[in-house]
Amino acid sequence: MKNRVITVKGVEVAVVSRHDQDYISLTDMLRNFGDESILYNWLRNRNTIEFLGIWEQLYNPGFKPLEFDRFRSQAGLNSFALSPKKWIEATAAIGLYAKAGRGGGTYAHRDIAFEFGSWLSPEFKLYLIKEFQRLKDEEARSTALEWSFQRTLSKVNYKIHTDAIKEHLIPPRLSKAQASTVYASEADLLNVALFGLAASQWRQANPEQPGNMRDSATLEQLVVLSNLESLNAVLIHQGMAAPARLTQLNAIAITQMRSLLGWGAIRQLGATKTKLQK
């Protein structure tokens, strides 16, 4: 779970990633307004319950509408009370969740957090949206820089890779056209090892896509591609035949992709590079 912090009107508010969505700490948002009784009063409000129920029906296939209807029918009664835990357990809601331990509290999907911000203060809500958008803009710039950095790294390794091909796979008497064919074959060997497709197959399957399959690669794929290019150069120097290299590189690609997917540290590469440039 990736944790970030934004500062809203002098208050540090945690933002976490959960199921590839952004959730904002309602507990942190309360700091300048009072205790969690404010949150409970917001939850027991009929308009709030209707908002939460409609949100869940839109985005949560496991939501329990009968329990939602029961809460909605009780809203407004003096005896009615509702806590985040009770709402989540009764309806199987995903828009809210309670986190225990350090940094714990009640978190809400950003849509719901913005709605809660309106309850606290229209001014606070506007600053919350502004700071959240600033965070997302910074993350988008960081991701773009990471992708560009890895694409450059991939091109540098490709030079090492093609030098090894030139030394060990191209007979001296081949024409330039024949040499180009050998290069293309080696490039496709890596494409098949990592992407499962040759360049021509990808182009046929994606006629509307600009660039090539490597231009559409994810950050993790570009990291593995860089590694495969270096490893393939070593295997070529060792005299290993193309079929054996393809099998070995494919196994390495599978192992490395499994390791990299979901590993947050790789996303820090671009941020670190930005700090060094400053």
Q: What are phi and psi of 217, to 5 degrees?
A: -70, 155
Question: How many angstroms separate the CA atoms of 173 and 259, rounded?
Answer: 43
Q: Tell me the pLDDT of the chain averaged across its residues.
A: 82
What are the pLDDT digits (tens) for 25-35?
Answer: 999 999 989 88
Instruction: Tell me if 135 is assigned to some domain.
Output: no
Q: Are residues 145 and 273 in the same domain?
A: yes
What are the pLDDT digits (tens) for 229-256?
Answer: 889 888 888 888 888 888 888 888 888 8
Q: What is the pTM of this model?
A: 0.53
- Provide the CB-side half-sphere exposure for 269 (13 A, CA): 18
Number of domains in the chain: 2
Instruction: Tell me if 179 is assigned to some domain.
Output: yes
What's residue 49's pLDDT?
95
Q: What are phi and psi of 98, to 5 degrees?
A: -105, 135
Q: Which helix (H) or strand (E) holds 109?
A: strand 105-109
What is the residue range of 76's domain? Answer: 3-120
Q: Are residues 113 and 236 in the same domain?
A: no
170 burial level (CB within 10 Å; 0-12, 13-18, 19+): middle
Q: Are residues 58 and 168 in the same domain?
A: no
What's residue 108's pLDDT?
95
Q: Are residues 150 and 254 in the same domain?
A: yes
- pLDDT of 262 strictly over 60: no
Q: Are residues 151 and 75 in the same domain?
A: no
8 Å CB contact between 55 and 109 = yes
As a whole number, mean pLDDT of residues 157-161 equals: 66
Instruction: Tell me if 71 is assigned to some domain.
Output: yes
Instruction: Tell me if 39 is assigned to some domain.
Output: yes
What are the pLDDT digits (tens) for 79-109?
Answer: 899 999 999 999 999 999 988 767 678 999 9
- Give the SS3 label for residue 172: coil
Instruction: Tell me if 134 is assigned to some domain.
Output: no
